[in-house]
Every structure is written in structure tokens, then in C-alpha cells.
Amino acid sequence: MMQSATLRPPRLSMRFVPVWRRNLLVWRKLAAASVLGNIADPLLYMLALGYGIGPLVGEVGGMSYVAFIGTGMVCQSAMFTSSFEGMYSAFSRMHVQRTWEAIINAPIALDDVVLAEWIWCATKAVMSTAAILVVILALGFGHTWLALWILPLGFLVGLAFGAFGLVMNALAPGYDFFTYFFTLVLTPMLLFSGVYFPVDQMPAWLATIAGALPLKHAIDIARPLMLGAIPGGILLHVAVLAAYAGAAYYVALLLTRRRLMR
Amino acid sequence: MNDTAPARVGASARGGRDAPVLVVDGLRKRYGGEEVVRGLSFTIERGECFALLGPNGAGKTTTLRCCLGLVDPDGGSIELVGEPVPKAAREARVRVGVVPQMDNLDPDFTVRENLLVYGGYFRIPREELDRRIPRLLDFAGLAGKAQTSIRTLSGGMKRRLTLARALVNDPELLILDEPTTGLDPQARHLIWDGLRQLLKQGKTILLTTHFMDEAERLATRLAVIDRGTMIACDTPRALIDTHVEPEVVEVYGEAAREWADTRGRALARRLEVAGETAFCYATDAAPLLADLATRAGVRYLHRPANLEDLFIKLTGRELRD
């Protein structure tokens, strides 16, 4: 049973900033390895599949297959980066290094720490989004200022999946626990959200299920932007992503309070 | 920035420099069905070193966490540096330093960066931190180590840095949870020297420990707690004088038990046997010593009563896990 102190609404304050900055400082020290890890994978996929399968399928959804899959990779990289940060990295800080414990002994509340971690997950999502976007633009796909709107989209995707990661973090007995999230959530998300092929290729029932996946809504925003168009139904897509993000953040906060404020 | 100013006014309105640093009254905390803190009350005055002494699971750490506002108590009231906790816990923590039981320094940072980043959590301006950090490193005996990575520090150095980190906000109260657990004797003495120095400067200290020598060396007053309640609270000397006979004779070896049953119990005011040792407590040990002197080959030790005797008397000899 949860107590009322656990269930009270989030207390948001700007005191999260020094905690966010702490993560940034650590990241700066390890940036090279981190950037490589975040973007090497999606880039390899994009290049291999884009140039390998691209000639076989021609244009998809009004764009070359490399650009098609590249846009998908931008979104999936935001998803993986923020999920990873919310799970493994946050767990290191919370459980292994006890960094959170040190922070909440200072005049910073646990709510501030969770907020800082959440925003940090989204920040890292933006970083990897930016890195891949630069490569896509350098390769000559998507030459429109509208493509820059993919950066704030990356932030939103990061908020959603960072929050999912933080939910897992609050429940995790150890690192192995996160495998469930990869197998049960991220892999299906990756395969059925239209990263590699358009969702309408799938049977109707599967496409309907895909319609509920947050990554699909991210991709529905990203692809038109890459082509220089304002996405249709953008408000709905943003609303779905924001709803996932907000709800998951609140659950993550409750579970984290239950875990640590005892 | 605005939120600290009224807090200061509030604190001085409640009594200023002469007010107690911590007032705990009737504190209760339960986890699941078990009440781990059961109506604990104590007051810490400015300049004191107050030790909470108790076996594992006595409720020491839970009490500290309640005092810092990290968990909400189920009953009672807490006032920390003049602020009501948990209501104004964050305001209170601005003026409190904490050394946790387990090291939680940032392993990715250097010694200096650890202090800088931690000072940032208190919103201490960078120029002020630049002034304070060299002094803190001096105090911790880490003056040459500013740029050293945490990963290469010894356990004792890490503890000293954690102590320096707890002082980064120049706190009115320093709270230490088992500060020397796991350290070697040299490292422990260094920590104790540091704490004595702080007391001399007028700082107030609250520490938990299960090391009797630590409490005896540092504490001006101590509370023995067990199963969530306080069983005694006074200066170490007064506690020993009140609860324990002044002289102790420890008799060792296989023959100890037999000697205790045949002779010891009659001569000592109180006698306990644990394993192969008989502990005899007496106001005057002379008759005991005279009897032991007639027995060849019995090893024994005559000493004044200490905190350990008090602790064992109040909390018993059985193991706690």
C-alpha cells in the first residue's frame, strides 16, 4: 500500500539544475565513448540497410530508402539513448554509486533528482538525434530548415523513453532486470513502429496496434519534417508522446519515492 | 535565493544562537508491521558532540534519516537548526552537513570536482567555493590531491574527503553515520583528530556509532538506544558511574566458568560468563584479585569499567543481525 506522501503530486523546482549539470560534467569527461556508442550503431544500420536494400526497393514514402531509414534511425536512437540513460546510467547513480543519496543529503529533494535525471535522459536523446541528423544532412538527404524541428522532437521522445527507463530503474533489483524492457518493449517498438518499413505494409490489426506505440508517432512527425513538410495530425502525435512521457514520469516518481524514501 | 532569506529570519525568531541545534520529541517510525523507532526524544545543544550508540538495527540510521527529512516519521516532532522537519527539511539541510555510512563520492570526478559539484547543490557561488576548497583540502590532509581521481584514493582518504564535502556549506550541525566503520586504526585516529578540531571551532556534531572507543573519545553526551527506544542518556562518565560497577576483572580460559561458579559469584557483585571469559563487576576488586592470585595458571585482567560494559549491560550479550 502506498502512503499519501508517496502519492503527492511532483514538486518541480529549479533545484534540479545543479544535478542535471553534474551529469553533464561527467558526460563531458566520457563524451567520446558515449557519442560513439550512441551513434555508431544507428549509423551502421542506416548505411548498410539504406545502401544494401535501398536499390531493391527504390523510393519509400516519397523519399530514398536511405533517407527513410535514416529518419527512422534518428527516432530510434533518441529512444535507445534515453532508455539506456534512464535504466543503466540512472541505476549506477542511484544504486551502485549512491550518488542520489549524497545529493538528497544536500538541500535537494528526491523529486528534484528524478526531474534532473528525466531531463538529462531527454538531453542525451537530443545529443544523439543531433549527431545522426548531421550525418543525414551531410549525406545530402533532407535539406530543409524544417528538419531542425527533429531536435525538439528528439527531446520529447527522450522524455517519453527516459521516463519508461526510470520506471524500470525504480523497480530494478539489478542490471539484468533491464533485459525485460529491451525484449518486451524496445525490440517490438523498433520493429513495428515503421523504422525499417512503412507501418501500412503490415496487416490492419498489426497496424492498429502500432498506432498506439509512441515511437510510431515520433516517426510520423519526423519523416514529413525531413521532406520539408509540416506533419499531418501533428497535434495528435505530440499529444500522444507527451501523454506517455507525463504518465510514465509520474509513475517513475512514485516508484522511486517508494523505493528510496523509506 | 528568496527561499533561504525568510528561513534565516525564522530561525533567529525561534531563538537564534542559543537555541538547541536539534530537538527530537516522541519520534516514531514503522516499517511494515514493525515499529523501528518507538518514541525517541533528545535535544542537542550548540557545541556538543552527541553520540547515538546502539547495536545493529537499533534504529540509529532511521532516526538520522527522519531528522534530515528523508523519510516522514509516523509520529513525534523534529526541529533541526530551528526548522520544522519534514515540513522545512530542505531549508534545514542548507545548514547541515552529512557524512553517510557508505562512501558515495562521485567516482568520475577528481577530489576538487567532488567539492565543487557538491557545493553547487547548496548554490554556493563559484568564487566562494574557490576560496573554501583549499582550506577544506588542508583540513582533510588532501592538499596535494586536488586533481587526483577518486578511484585512486585509499579508504581513509575517501572518508576524509567525505568529511570535507560535508563541511562545504560551513554547517551548523555535522551529522555522521558510523564515520569510521571499515577504517584501519591510523585512519580512524585522523578522522577523530579532525572531528575534535571541529568541536574546538565550536561546531556541533551528531554521530552514530557502535564503537565504544569512538564514543568515549569524542562524545560529550551519548544516548544508548536499543529496539527504537532510548535506554540511557548522559555524559559517558556519568552513564558508567550510574549503571556499572567501577571495577572489572576479566578471567580467561577453560577454568573460568568453573571458577566463576565456585568462587567468583560470591566475590563479585555481578558476574557474567561469555564463552571462556568471566566478567566480574565489583565496587572493590581486592577480594577477587586476592582469590585469583592463589590460583596458578589463571589469566585475568583488572581494569576500570568502560562504555563497553555499560553497553553490554544495557543491551545484552546476544548477537544482533
CATH of the domain at B254: 3.30.70
Closest-CA residue of A relative to B171 is: A106
Q: Across the interface, which of B71, B100, B121 has its CB nearest the CB of A18?
A: B121
Residue A6 lies in a domain: no
Residue B178 lies in a domain: yes
Residue A26 lies in a domain: yes
Instruction: Please answer whether residues A35 and A127 qualify as being in contact, where contact means their C-beta atoms are separated by less than 8 angstroms.
Output: yes
| Position A32 confidence tier, pLDDT thresholds 50, 70, 90 | confident
Among B181, B206, B235, give the residue marking a domain's end. Answer: B235
pLDDT digits (tens, 9 = 90+) for B54-105: 888 889 999 999 999 999 999 999 999 999 999 999 999 999 999 999 999 9
Instruction: Please answer whether residues B97 and A95 qualify as being in contact, where contact means their C-beta atoms are separated by less than 8 angstroms.
Output: no
Residue A4 lies in a domain: no
Residue B310 lies in a domain: no
Query: What CATH number corresponds to the domain at position B173?
Result: 3.40.50.300
What pLDDT is recorded for position B284? 93
Closest-CA residue of B relative to A93 is: B106
Examine the domain organization and report whether B116 and B255 are in the same domain.
no
How many Cβ contacts (< 8 angstroms) between chains A and B? 63
Sign, CA dihedral B233-B237-B241-B246, equals positive
Residue A30 lies in a domain: yes
Among B184, B207, B235, give the residue marking a domain's end. Answer: B235
Average pLDDT over residues B12-18: 55
pLDDT digits (tens, 9 = 90+) for A171-225: 999 999 999 999 999 999 999 999 999 998 899 999 999 999 999 999 999 999 9
Examine the domain organization and report whether B287 and B169 are in the same domain.
no
Examine the domain organization and report whether B32 and B138 are in the same domain.
yes
Residue A169 lies in a domain: yes
Domain of residue B289, residue span:
245-304
A262 vs B: CB within 8 A: yes
The C-alpha R_g of chain A, in whole angstroms, comes to: 19
* Least confident span in A81-85, A117-121, B2-6: B2-6
Domain of residue A204, residue span:
15-260
Among B187, B215, B235, give the residue marking a domain's end. Answer: B235
Quick check: B118 and A106 CB within 8 A? Answer: yes
Residue A5 lies in a domain: no
A12 vs B: CB within 8 A: no
Question: End-to-end alpha-carbon separation of chain B, Å?
Answer: 45
Examine the domain organization and report whether B231 and B256 are in the same domain.
no
Residue B315 lies in a domain: no
Residue A150 lies in a domain: yes
CA B162 – CA B263 distance, rounded (Å): 52
Query: In degrees rounded to 5, what are phi and psi of residue A108?
Result: -130, 130
Residue A10 lies in a domain: no
Examine the domain organization and report whether B103 and B172 are in the same domain.
yes
Pairing of strands B34-44, B22-31: antiparallel
Examine the domain organization and report whether B151 and B193 are in the same domain.
yes
Residue B58 lies in a domain: yes
- Total domain count for chain A? 1
Q: Which of A97, A103, A105 to mutate to test the interface with B (most CBs of B within 10 A)?
A: A105
What pLDDT is recorded for position B16? 61
Count of residues for chain B? 321
- Total domain count for chain B? 2
Examine the domain organization and report whether B282 and B182 are in the same domain.
no
Contact list in B for residue A26 (CB cut-off 8 A) is 106, 108-109
Residue B260 lies in a domain: yes
Name residue, grid cell 565496587. Answer: B283
DSSP category for residue B94: T
Closest-CA residue of A relative to B64 is: A105
* Least confident span in A135-144, B118-127, B134-143: A135-144
Examine the domain organization and report whether B191 and B273 are in the same domain.
no
The model's pTM: 0.91
Residue B309 lies in a domain: no
Examine the domain organization and report whether B267 and B147 are in the same domain.
no
Examine the domain organization and report whether B278 and B257 are in the same domain.
yes
Quick check: A101 and B118 CB within 8 A? Answer: no
Examine the domain organization and report whether B192 and B224 are in the same domain.
yes
Contact list in A for residue B90 (CB cut-off 8 A) is 107-109
Quick check: A107 and B108 CB within 8 A? Answer: no
Quick check: A262 and B31 CB within 8 A? Answer: yes
CA A50 – CA A184 distance, rounded (Å): 26
Average pLDDT over residues B174-189: 92
ipTM, two decimals: 0.92
Quick check: B104 and A98 CB within 8 A? Answer: yes
Contact list in B for residue A99 (CB cut-off 8 A) is 104, 106
Instruction: Please answer whether residues B104 and A101 qualify as being in contact, where contact means their C-beta atoms are separated by less than 8 angstroms.
Output: yes
Cell output for B170: 560551513
Residue B8 has pLDDT above 70, yes or no: no
Examine the domain organization and report whether B36 and B173 are in the same domain.
yes
| Position B149 confidence tier, pLDDT thresholds 50, 70, 90 | very high
Residue B321 has pLDDT above 50, yes or no: yes
Residues 6 or more apart in contact with residue A96 via CB below 8 angstroms: none
Contact list in B for residue A103 (CB cut-off 8 A) is 121
pLDDT digits (tens, 9 = 90+) for A39-53: 788 888 888 988 899
What pLDDT is recorded for position B46? 96
Q: Which of B67, B70, B122, B176 to mutate to test the interface with A (most CBs of A within 10 A)?
A: B70
